[in-house]
C-alpha cells in the first residue's frame, strides 16, 4: 500500500496562519500568498473518513491545475505555481461565503430531494415528472452557504443578496463566471467521452476583482458520467457509469453510513482504498487525456517541504 498524506504541520518561511480543511491544508504566507496542499484525505457527508487514499491529493491537484490553466481566458484565477505534485501556490483572495453549484442533470442530493417531493432547490423551480439523471433543459445554479464546520446549507440567489452575504454586482459576476466555466467544462468532458453532470465553484475578491479560487472540475467537486451508454441506461432506469466521488457515498450508504449521529464509518480495507485510488487515477487520465505519473511517495512530507521552501526562496 502506497504512503498517504493525511496530516500536515509545516512551518514555512513567512507563514502567518494555517487552515486545515476537509481535504486541503492551506498555509498563508505573508499577506498575499497561499500554499494549498491537497492531502490524501477523503470526505463524504461532510465527514473526513479515517483512511487516506493513495495518490488522491496528487490527482486532485493536477486535475485542478489542468482546468485552471484551461479556463484562465474565461475568468482570472488564483493559481501562480505548482511547486509540488500535491501543492498549488497562488493569490490570497477574500473568499465569498457561498459555493456556486451548477447542475446540468438531476442527480445526487438534488435527485434525493426531488424523489422526496421537493420541486424547488435554492429558489429554482423544477419541472414535474423528471427522472433520476435526466438532463435539465438548461443548467441551473443552486448555491450553498459555505460552512466553516458542519453542513453547507442551500440558499437562494435572492436570499444571498438580501442578507448581504454577497453584493448584487459580485453575485451576478460569479453567476456569469460559473455558467461560463460549466459550459467550458461540459465541452472539455464531451471531447473525452464524459458528461459533466454537476460541479461547484468558489470565488473570492483580490484587488477588487472577482477571481476563481480553490479547485475546479475535480472528482471531489464534480460528478461525471460516461457518455457511452448514458441514454440506454437512462431509459431503463439503470444507474449510470460514473467517475466521481458518488461511488464512495453509495458504498457508505450501502454499509449504513450517511454521516448521521450514532453511525459508524464502515471499515476501509487496504483493498477498498486501493480501488478508490484507481478510480481517481482513471478520472485523471480520462479527463486530461494524459498518463498519470505517480510521484515518488518515499519521504512524502519531506519532499513537499523541500519543494515549497525552494519555491518560496525563489519568488
- For the purposes of burial, counting CB atoms within 10 Å of the CB of 18, is it exposed (0-12), middle (13-18) or buried (19 or more)? middle
Q: Where are the domains of the chain?
A: 15-93+274-314, 94-244
- Spatial distance between the Cα atoms of 24 and 48, rounded to a whole number of angstroms: 11
- Spatial distance between the Cα atoms of 307 and 298, rounded to a whole number of angstroms: 14
Distances (CA, A) of 182 to 127, 201, 218: 21, 9, 13
- Spatial distance between the Cα atoms of 149 and 170, rounded to a whole number of angstroms: 24
CB 202 within 8 A of CB 146: yes
Could you report the per-residue pLDDT of 72-93, keeping only the tens digit for each? Answer: 999 999 999 999 999 999 999 9
The DSSP letter of residue 295 is P
Over 60: is that where the pLDDT of 273 sits? yes
CB 155 within 8 A of CB 144: yes
Could you report the per-residue pLDDT of 117-172, keeping only the tens digit for each? Answer: 999 999 999 999 999 999 999 999 999 997 665 567 899 999 999 999 999 999 99
List, in sequence order, every residue forming a beta bridge with 20; answer none if it has no partner.
25
Could you report the per-residue pLDDT of 189-240, keeping only the tens digit for each? Answer: 999 999 999 999 999 999 999 999 999 999 888 999 999 999 999 999 999 9
Per-residue confidence (pLDDT) for residue 37, from 0 to 100? 98
Q: What are phi and psi of 22, to 5 degrees?
A: -65, -40
Cell of 208: 477588487
Over 80: is that where the pLDDT of 244 sits? no
- Spatial distance between the Cα atoms of 10 and 81, rounded to a whole number of angstroms: 19
CATH of 15-93+274-314 among 3.30.200.20, 3.40.1360.10, 3.40.50.720, 1.10.8.420: 3.30.200.20
**pTM score, two decimals?**
0.90
CATH of 94-244 among 3.40.640.10, 3.30.70.100, 3.30.470.20, 3.10.20.30: 3.30.470.20
Helix (H) or strand (E) holding 140: strand 135-141
Over 80: is that where the pLDDT of 54 sits? yes
Per-residue confidence (pLDDT) for residue 1, from 0 to 100? 65
Per-residue confidence (pLDDT) for residue 151, from 0 to 100? 63
Mean pLDDT of the region 108-123 = 94
Amino acid at each position: 500500500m502506497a504512503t498517504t498524506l493525511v496530516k500536515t504541520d509545516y512551518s514555512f518561511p513567512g507563514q502567518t496562519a494555517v487552515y486545515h480543511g476537509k481535504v486541503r491544508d492551506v498555509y498563508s504566507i505573508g499577506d498575499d500568498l497561499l500554499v494549498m496542499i491537497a492531502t490524501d484525505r477523503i470526505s463524504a457527508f461532510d465527514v473526513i473518513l479515517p483512511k487516506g487514499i493513495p495518490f488522491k491529493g496528487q490527482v486532485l491537484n493536477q486535475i485542478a491545475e489542468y482546468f485552471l490553466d484551461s479556463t484562465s481566458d474565461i475568468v482570472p484565477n488564483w493559481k501562480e505555481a505548482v511547486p509540488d505534485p500535491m501543492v498549488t501556490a497562488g493569490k490570497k483572495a477574500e473568499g465569498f461565503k457561498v459555493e456556486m453549484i451548477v447542475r446540468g442533470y438531476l442527480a445526487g442530493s438534488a435527485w434525493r430531494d426531488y424523489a422526496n417531493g421537493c420541486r424547488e432547490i435554492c429558489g429554482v423551480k423544477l419541472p414535474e415528472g423528471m427522472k433520476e439523471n435526466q438532463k435539465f433543459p438548461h443548467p441551473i445554479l443552486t448555491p450553498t452557504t459555505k460552512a466553516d464546520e458542519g453542513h453547507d446549507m442551500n440558499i437562494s440567489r435572492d436570499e444571498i443578496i438580501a442578507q448581504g452575504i454577497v453584493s448584487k454586482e459580485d453575485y451576478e459576476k460569479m453567476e456569469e463566471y460559473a455558467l461560463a466555466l460549466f459550459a467550458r467544462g461540459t465541452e472539455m468532458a464531451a471531447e473525452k467521452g464524459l458528461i459533466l453532470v454537476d460541479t461547484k465553484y468558489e470565488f473570492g475578491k483580490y484587488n477588487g476583482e472577482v477571481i476563481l479560487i480553490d479547485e475546479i472540475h475535480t472528482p471531489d467537486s464534480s460528478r461525471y458520467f460516461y457518455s457511452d451508454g448514458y441514454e440506454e441506461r437512462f431509459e431503463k432506469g439503470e444507474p449510470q457509469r460514473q467517475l466521481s466521488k458518488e461511488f464512495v457515498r453509495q458504498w457508505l450508504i450501502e454499509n449504513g453510513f450517511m454521516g448521521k449521529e450514532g453511525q459508524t464509518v464502515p471499515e476501509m480495507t487496504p483493498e477498498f482504498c486501493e480501488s478508490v485510488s484507481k478510480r481517481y487515477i482513471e478520472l485523471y487520465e480520462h479527463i486530461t487525456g494524459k498518463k498519470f505519473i505517480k510521484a515518488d511517495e518515499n519521504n512524502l512530507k519531506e519532499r513537499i517541504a523541500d519543494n515549497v521552501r525552494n519555491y518560496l526562496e525563489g519568488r
